[in-house]
């Protein structure tokens, strides 16, 4: 059983001990940025889904409520980031850079 546990944990330990490698191409950097955006948006949606908003009748106390201004600002920032990634992708496609 210990050998199985060690074998199961070895990839995780190895991944933690090796530093992340920088992207080798602009397209790879774009894919990594989109993946990071996906993780950030998922975490933001968890925050934004906390109903009701802070200050509303029956709202829970912070941090168990969502600040309406933060939700609006976060949505705006996510859209701007997606637009920037789309422009970067168009540039990479136009230059045919790999």
Does any domain span residue 16? no
pLDDT at 54 over 50: yes
When divided into structural domains, the chain yields a total of 1
Which residue's structure tokens are 């422009």? 87
pLDDT tens digit string along 10-30?
455 555 566 677 778 888 888
Q: Which of 80, 83, 95 is nearest to 25 (CA)?
A: 95
Q: Where in the sequence is the domain holding 32, given as residue range(s)?
A: 23-95
Tell whether 46 is covered by a domain: yes
pLDDT at 65 over 50: yes
SS3 content of the chain, % helix, strand, coil (to 5): 70, 0, 30
Q: How high does pLDDT run on average in the chain?
A: 77
Selection from 12-26, 36-50, 52-66 with the highest mean pLDDT:
36-50
**Interacting residues of 75 by C-beta distance below 8 A, sequence separation 6+:** 48
Q: Is 8 contained in some domain?
A: no
Residue 98: which H helix or E strand, with range?
none
| Predicted pLDDT at 6 | 44
DSSP 8-state assignment for residue 59: P
pLDDT at 51: 66
């Amino acid at each position: 059983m210990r050998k199985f546990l060690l074998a199961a944990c070895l990839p995780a330990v190895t991944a933690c001990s090796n530093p992340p490698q920088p992207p080798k191409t602009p397209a790879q950097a774009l894919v990594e940025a989109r993946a990071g955006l996906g993780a950030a948006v998922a975490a933001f949606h968890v925050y934004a889904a906390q109903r009701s908003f802070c200050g509303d009748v029956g709202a829970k106390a912070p941090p168990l409520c969502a600040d309406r201004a933060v939700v609006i600002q976060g949505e705006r920032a996510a859209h701007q980031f997606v637009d920037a990634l789309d422009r970067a992708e168009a540039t990479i496609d136009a230059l045919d850079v790999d």
